[in-house]
Amino acid sequence: MADERFAEHLLHPEGRGHEPAGSRSGAAGGAPCGDLVRISVRVEGERVVDAGFEASGCGSMIAAASAVVTLVRGERLLDCARIGSAEVAAELGGLSAGKHHAADLASDALHRALGEAARWDAEVAARPGRTLVAMSGGVDSAVAALLCARESGAEVCAVTLELWRDPENDAEASCCSASAVRVARALAHRLGMPHLTLDLREEFRAGVVEPWLAEHAAGLTPNPCVRCNGHVRLDAMLDLADRLGAARLATGHYARITPDGLLRAAVDAAKDQSYMLAALAPASIARMRFPLGELTKPQVREIAEEAGLPVARKPDSQDLCFLAGTGRAAFLARHGALRDRPGDMSTAPAGASRATAATTTSPSASAAASAWGAATSRSTSWPPTRTPTRSRSDRGRRSTRRRSRCARSRSTATPPRSTRCACATARGRFPARSTASR
């Protein structure tokens, strides 16, 4: 029977060569084996009304894509979002270990297509208690999703953003790669949640990476996390929540919200991430939930272990960002923001001035930085390092020393930015903290 079902999909593939009008597509593959697949779906309201595919490579790839089309046609969008490689393999009557990669690729392509369709075309009826939760494939977001699901009457949908794809920095070395998306989807399905993928690689490069490179070249110290959360990731997910009829968006950030809608530091001061959300609009904060705000990191890992989540001991996401694996200097050098000058963030040749360095940024980085700067109303540079609480007399002595340094710097010609005193550099660069004191 299994062979008959596989043969039926292989010899008479459902939807091959069909691309529905107004459909959204997702692609996967390109591995050395040569398997490629593109799934196209058309969503109206909350249903997938039509689907088709195109595939090349081994017969298993064609059969798996046909199985996907069969599984999704006419079904509810959120039900289709529960389909993974296991369901694709089951539709084919089972797959051997050597052929299971075809089900993985077909599932990847399907979820990219569903994510695009959900983002632009879906209109799912709102339901009280429905929450969209952001899952990165790490322990924090997995526990946040688990805690949301445990609430009485809650319905949780999961979304993972694909922000970066780099052959030198992918798989387990990145928190936002195609491999991480697959891990997050498996976790969501394990918890019984529908899962969608949003491909924001273009937005992430234009809104975060290019400005980050440009500001490094200009001698600044940008904070990609504030910019990413404040203007790229969370805005896109809140828009998706509207499409899916979800009133709230939950994330694994360590932060809290006061009853009057202000951001507040997390209980775990060592893990507090409230500053990463400083660029969010108040209306966005009002729709956010942070289930980990009252927990410490050891407690989060303990919850994950008790639930049997395989990511219970996974490294923190900040250790797996798009810089991880290669390191900051290697990333900057590979993308044209450094020359062979260790320790210098300039792109200029040796001996060039800082002003010259700022003008040698690549045209794409400069254009992206200019466009992004015009679209944002406040700076998102890295916030000052937190210091332990000091007594009033200590703070007074520290302010006196700072004023003395500023007076000395004003008494001479304006120095280069790299030697300007810290307080002068910081003045006007760092936005006011939006977190309330605990």
Told to judge if 80 belongs to the known catalytic residues of this protein, a careful annotator would answer: no
Cα three-residue angle 148-153-155, rounded to 5 degrees: 55
Burial 376-399 (b: 16+ CB within 10 A, else e): eeebbbbbeeeeeeeeeeeeeeee
**Ramachandran sector of residue 106 (left: φ over 0; alpha: ψ -120 to 50; beta: rest):** alpha
Separation in Å, CA 386 to CA 38, 272, 361, 423, 433: 48, 11, 31, 15, 12
Separation in Å, CA 135 to CA 50, 125, 143, 423: 28, 23, 9, 38
Q: Return the structure tokens found at 163.
A: 């922000």
Told to judge if 228 belongs to the known catalytic residues of this protein, a careful annotator would answer: yes
Among residues 228, 406, 421, 423, the one annotated as catalytic is: 228
Among residues 148, 321, 406, 421, the one annotated as catalytic is: 321
| Integer Cα distance of 347 and 333 in angstroms | 9
Query: Please, which residues have CB within 8 angstroms of residue 237's CB and are 6 or more apart in sequence?
Result: 132, 134, 159, 161, 198, 249
Give me the numbers of helices (H) and strands (E) for the chain, helices first please: 18, 11
Catalytically annotated residues: 228, 321
